[in-house]
Structure 1
């Protein structure tokens, strides 16, 4: 990377005219971190994208490509295989959706892009971004996940679908039934590839790849690439272009603290944090479904508005909770690790690990819910005596520092 693109820099004449024509307000990005501002100074216009796509990009509020978008968009447009490592919250989703939309021909009635996602909530969110960015393009996007009506999905596939977003099990089911025809699908995107290539999903993925066009392009995006990804890459992804923006693993804008407490003090400590911090929205993580529900009940009894979400809830209920939280109907959400992958709600500025996670990977994904797209955020960990070695190990594995919590936390660390 050769240049630091200052967030104070004047917009290009092209961008200025776009924003004026679309009647868009100027965005204040002065407080974004280098995770999204340390760019090469490229503009979206530099990629010669369709006018309708540029309209969607600027209406979405994107001004300039982030580092991962600068690196990925032109390479995916060249139909090359891609292996991209980038932090959560740095624009990964748009980095693959923008070139996929550019390459999609709405005149053709078949599935041209398949985007595989490990969780239902992230699939819904990704499909929403496809629709927002492609709103002027007449591109038909469909989302299909487990836990929803298979009959409805089958009926929808009788109509044209250009971009199919979904979870592997449901997509494979539709493909093997001969309903989702993937033989002309030229681009396969795997988001959160480390999770998709875990033992739970990998056999499904290998079958799905073979359902796609033999000339398929495969792009993997993830914050971490464990050994399982290398095995899949060696088998299916020939000569990938590798993007690595992971000099450090944790987002620069997230300040991390820990508080040593006894188990029985945790709820009181949480109450204190609620009263002392300026929380826009917070996600509070527990390690089990039972503890999620119990904690949500306790928080409600303390007089705070609070929702909860976990994998054992009915899908329709989960969708409703996610939608309501995203719309700001409540300030606090208690969650299991269901919610750690890719959920992009920029108003979340505080993440609290009520229960400290067991692995550095889980920790990384949890705290990535704050500080989305280069903004500031706070991660607070409630640590018991039994957690202390886990704390030291995760600090070491992520090469990060989790500091003792001070009596007063400067709002400048997480409120801009």
Structure 2
């Protein structure tokens, strides 16, 4: 593509202001290629640049050519390094070429994208729509359990759908009802592959694969971690013409470099005091607080609201409409603090989240890795704070060893330059509204299963001292 032509089409699009936030060498420590250097069609490039993408991240730089060349692909890199775009961009390019070669395929499903949760499916659909903005012939559809089955059937029968993004159970149901026809599907993309190929999901994925032409299918697996259990799937379906992209090879530390990790050692009944102190001391853009159970999520939300702090919550047992609304509003920045279960640990990419708090410390290194990866996305800065009690101390040490990372005692003052960025973004996040406190409180008060937890009452004065003994204290 000549430089003159380059300037001509770039002048026709609305390229957003450059993101000036500091990035770590997880992203910048490589010679990065501009997207117009890839063999991508003009309409796709216009959408990419309008989305604010300038140069490919390392995972994108290696995955895009491999997928465009129709190799099977397994790609591994840290959370928050651009894995979704790494498969969406070549997927859209391949569909563009497919339709150019055979116009009859415009009315059939050409690709499946499988993800473990509704929230990740919604986000992936949004990425596809954003990056196919100028590609008029691409039809994408979201299909998850909880969606109206009748609506899904109507869309598949009455609209030209080329990409179906969804959770495995619903997609299998649609194929078994002979509504979702996979005979012309040539791309099978699996995000969060470590989760998707566990014992719960793998049989469903294999059933879907066997409804396609296995001689003509391209399989791509993306994840931050690939346990040994994935190998048998790769050997069975992907051994021929496999391209491996592993940006974790030779890397000892699995956590993102931009995330600073601290722990606060507190008694269980003092956790709320500690959280209140953090609210008063931290410069929070947006924050996700994780709990280990649904009941703990609802109870903590109630306690936070009693402090006069606006927050919402999300978990898998909520009504679908409420869950969708909360996720949508959090993405838009209308909610500053979100309390949730591990429902939102995987793949969720909200660039304005700069603080993650583990109110309940996770049991496994894998869960910890995915939780804290909700901040510090794409090489930016973030903060992870862990509230640990006496029973958690050995698990804290174990997770440090497994991830080869350091979780430091929390200091009296956390410097802003560790996690605060771009004052303009900070100002763009709406301040908490009293009406939102009342809205969430009303919803919680309608749930009669909430019981008192024995947490200490919070006084009007903030507790400013957080006791942090050595991790190895016996």
Deviations 1:129-157 (A, max 9, x none): 10110011120001100011111000000
Q: Displacement, 1:38?
A: 2.3
1:180 and 2:180 matched: yes
Provide the residue aligned with 1:334 in structure 2: 339
1:249 and 2:254 matched: yes
Within 5 Å, give how 1:11-410 maps onto structure 2.
Answer: 20-105=11-96, 106=99, 107=103, 108-138=106-136, 139-158=138-157, 159-214=159-214, 215-239=216-240, 240-246=242-248, 247=251, 248-410=253-415
Query: What secondary structure sits across from 2:173 in the alignment?
Result: helix
Hey, what's the Cα distance between the residues in 2 that align with 1:383 and 1:92? 31
Query: What secondary structure sits across from 1:283 in the alignment?
Result: strand
Alpha-carbon spacing, 1:26–1:330, altered in 2? closer, same or farther (3 Å) = closer
Alpha-carbon spacing, 1:145–1:398, altered in 2? closer, same or farther (3 Å) = same
Hey, what's the Cα distance between the residues in 1 that align with 2:302 and 2:5? 52
Whether the 8 Å contact between 2:264 and 2:386 is mirrored in structure 1 is yes
Hey, what's the Cα distance between the residues in 1 that align with 2:4 and 2:298? 52
Which aligned runs of 4 or more in structure 1 are off by greater than 3 angstroms?
12-21
Query: What secondary structure sits across from 1:242 in the alignment?
Result: strand
RMSD: 1.4
Paired residues, number: 405
Task: Work out which of the two has the higher radius of gyration on C-alpha atoms and give 1 or 2.
Answer: 2
Provide the residue aligned with 2:467 in structure 1: none
Hey, what's the Cα distance between the residues in 2 that align with 1:23 and 1:192? 32
Whether the 8 Å contact between 1:39 and 1:70 is mirrored in structure 2 is no
Query: What secondary structure sits across from 2:178 in the alignment?
Result: coil
In structure 2, the gaps of 5 or more residues are 422-474
Provide the residue aligned with 1:4 in structure 2: none
Q: Displacement, 1:25?
A: 3.7
Whether the 8 Å contact between 1:15 and 1:63 is mirrored in structure 2 is no
Query: What secondary structure sits across from 1:363 in the alignment?
Result: helix
Q: TM-score, normalised by structure 1?
A: 0.95
Hey, what's the Cα distance between the residues in 1 that align with 2:5 and 2:264? 49
Deviations 1:374-396 (A, max 9, x none): 11000000010000010000000
Hey, what's the Cα distance between the residues in 2 that align with 1:15 and 1:88? 32
Q: Displacement, 1:182?
A: 0.8
Q: Displacement, 1:360?
A: 0.3
Q: TM-score, normalised by structure 2?
A: 0.83
Q: Displacement, 1:301?
A: 0.8
Q: Displacement, 1:75?
A: 0.4
